[in-house]
Structure formats: C-alpha cells, structure tokens
Amino acid sequence: MQSPLDARILSSGSRRRFLGGVAGASISPFLPLGTAFAQSAKLGAADYGVASIDPLYSMVYVAAKKGYFAEAGLDARPLNAQSGPRAKQMLAAGQLFAATSGVNDPVSLTIAGKQAVLVAGFDNRIAFANILTTKKLYDAGLKDVKSLAGRSIGVTQPQSATWLMAVYLADRAGIKDKVQVRPLGDFSTMLGAVKSGSVDCCTATYSMLNKAKEEGWGVPLFDVTDDATWNSAFGGDVPGVGVYVMQDSIDKRPEAVQALVTGIVKASDFIRQTSPSDIVALIGGQYLQGYGKQLSIDSVSVFKKIWSADNLITPQHYARLMDVMGGRQITPEEMKQVPYEKMVNMSFVKRARKLA
C-alpha cells in the first residue's frame, strides 16, 4: 500500500512512469529540476536514486534545490527508490547513474559481481540504527534491545541497511536467534506498523522517532544520539549512508561523477553553515511534505550532529563497517573481496574540497 507521503510526491512529479516496472515496484520521483538548471547541464542527465524520503537525505535535496549539481554541469535528477535494495538493484541494472542508501549496499552489490564504489559519505553514525517501540509496550516491560527476545522488529527489506542494524543490535544483545525480523517496505510503512501493533518495534531514523514521540506513542529502545549507547554497541564512528556508483561509471563518465560529488559537497557545506530552520525553509515544501515543519527542523538539528563535516570515509570508518557486516551479511571470505582500496574512492571528494 502506498504511503500518503509517496502518493503526494508521485502526484506532483512529471516523471511518474520512470522505472515504474522495476521488479514490479512503482517508483515515486521527486519533483524534477527546473528547465534553466537542466539546460546548463553540459555533462548530460543522471538519475540519482535515494533510498527513501527523510530529512536524513537533506544533502541531496539541498544540492538539487540550490542548483549545485547543475552548477557543476550535471542534470542530476533525484528519485525515491523506496529502499536501499531497490536503489542498488536499479543501479546495477543501469537504470540509475548513482544511488544513496546504506553503505553496506555497494559492498553486497560488489560481492554479487557488480563492482560498485563509494564516492562520498553523508554521516559518521548510522542514523537509522535507532530502535522504536510503543509507549504501551515500554510501560509493559519492553525497556531495551535485550528484552526484544521472542518479539518482532520491522525493517525495510531483507539484506537492507535497516535489516543489518536489526540483526547486528540483536546479536550484540545476545538475542539474534530469538527475534523475528520482518520486512515491511519504506519508512512510512514501518512507522505505521509499529503504531498499529503489527510489529513490536522497528529500526528507525531520528525523524521517525521524533514523529512517534510527537504523536505521543513512541519510545526509543536504542538511540544513536546517545554517545555511551552508541559507543558501547559500535565502538566509534561508522558511516551510515553514502553516495555510490558503478565502477563502470567512474571509468566512462568521471566528469559526471565529479559533478555529482561536488554538488553533494557544496550542499554539505551549506548545511553546516545554515540553521536547521533555514534548511527546512529551503527544502521542506518540495521534499518533506509528510513530516511537518517543526518535526523536520528537530530532525535536521539532530542530524547536523552526526552528518560528516568533510564527506570522507576513512579506512578506520570502513573497518568498523566490516565489523558490523562480517558474519552477519557477509562471510570472512567475502570480506577479502571488498577491501577499502577497492570499495572506497575519496578522490572526488578531495578534488571538490581542493584536498587533492
């Protein structure tokens, strides 16, 4: 069932049929860029799939709204792919030029034989690793992740980044084989499932947590913004979402990859220097209709604390990601196939920041 948020964006976009048949799924495009931006794109068009609609992805929305992609010469067209697995599947099929979703997605795509490469980072913590439940269940004794034994947790899709977080946190709590992980679809569907009691909890972005708190029914069991809680589970900074492309695109269209990354870097700098209220004033009406102004402002305020200041994914960051994925999403042998040097190319970020 299509969420109200997706329906609004679908009805407002002029490219609603684009990629509509992929894996039997409808794709909800964001509003396209203006013609003035498109006409200035000397490097051509590039469809850019984003895993979902959430203030977490504000860098993409700002880059599109401010025209940073076009200033760099690229007509980048952001699309809601509705989940990380869909985004990576569409990328591998050549139906997207680039994707933004969990940084585990390009790793699993490469292991499957389709070489993908991370070209920019968004954050230093996995913003959708929160665990959300209802106040009713919390008051009845569901106080932490360990108490989820025998219960259900909702995620977007199997093998997605939200799935990985659920499995990882359950494993850390010693209940990996005692919790039912249920794929539900996009973030809006997950939120509704917890609220209705269809599942006991779900992995959640801060926006989801805040919306549930605002409505008076939600309580976090795991909060990524709590330093002690985060470090006890993850041991330090871990990239959550990033921009990735196929290696073939780097080989054949390096200028377009550079333009895309340059747009994201400029958006990142704009966000760092701009108040949450001004950021939401810029992008809220077009990209965040389903969240409400204050909810979006509160979410951006928190994300500004975990968004990367330089968009770089370091070897140390990647090593922690491998610790999360290893033995859960990939085997030790598969880990050898995806070393940092093969999976991460920060040269585009460094050029955009004049560090190279």
CATH number of the domain encompassing residue 230: 3.40.190.10
200 and 286 share a domain? no
Q: What is d(CA 233, CA 249) in angstroms, rounded to the nearest whole number?
A: 36
Does residue 80 sit in the same domain as residue 170?
Answer: no
- Its domain, for residue 16, covers 4-125+238-352
Which comes out higher in pLDDT, residue 176 or 24?
A: 176
Condensed to tens digits (0 to 9), the pLDDT of residues 5-22 reads 332 232 233 333 223 333
Task: Work out the angle at residue 12's Cα, subtended by the Cα atoms of residues 36 and 46, and round it to the nearest 5 degrees.
Answer: 50
**Rounded to whole angstroms, how far apart are CA atoms 87 and 3?**
18
Residue among 27, 119, 123, 40 at smallest CA distance from 76: 40
Domain total of the chain? 2
The pTM of the full predicted model, rounded to 2 decimals, is: 0.83
Domain boundary among 214, 234, 254: 234
Report, as an integer, the average pLDDT of 129-140. 96
Residue 26 has pLDDT above 70, yes or no: no
Q: 121-148: b or e for each residue (b if 16 or more CB lie within 10 Å)?
A: bbbbbbbbbbbbbbeebbeeebeebebb
134 three-state secondary structure: strand
CA distances from 105 to 48, 159, 300 (A): 15, 8, 24
263 & 190 share domain: no
> What does the pLDDT average to over 28-43?
54
Query: Which tens digits make up the pLDDT trace of 42-66?
Result: 999 999 999 989 899 999 999 999 9
> 250-261, pLDDT tens digit by residue?
999 999 999 999
The answer to whether residues 250 and 315 belong to one domain is yes
Both 11 and 121 in one domain: the answer is yes
Domain boundary among 190, 210, 234: 234
Give the pLDDT band (50/70/90) at residue 37.
low
First to last CA, the chain: 47
Question: Vertex 11, ends 6 and 16: CA angle to 5°?
Answer: 85
* pLDDT value for 349: 98
**Does 53 share its domain with 159?**
no
Number of H helices, E strands in the chain: 19, 11
pLDDT averaged over every residue in the chain: 88
Look at residue 292 in the predicted model and tell me its pLDDT.
85
Question: In terms of domains, do 147 and 282 share one?
Answer: no
Per-residue pLDDT averaged across 246-270, rounded?
98
Task: Identify the domain boundary among 234, 255, 278.
Answer: 234
> Do 9 and 121 fall within a single domain?
yes
262 with 347, same domain: the answer is yes
| Residues 226 and 176 occupy one common structural domain | yes
Beta partners for residue 97, in sequence order: none
Note the pLDDT of residue 2: 33
| pLDDT of res. 118 | 98
**Same domain, yes or no: 319 and 334:** yes
89-106 pLDDT tens trace = 999 999 999 999 999 999
Q: Which residues of 177-195 are buried (b: 16+ CB within 10 A; e: fewer)?
A: eebebbbbbbbbbbbbbbb
Asked if 10 and 120 sit in the same domain, the reply is: yes
Mean pLDDT value of segment 155-183: 93
Say if residue 278's pLDDT is above 90: yes
In this prediction, residue 249 carries a pLDDT of 98
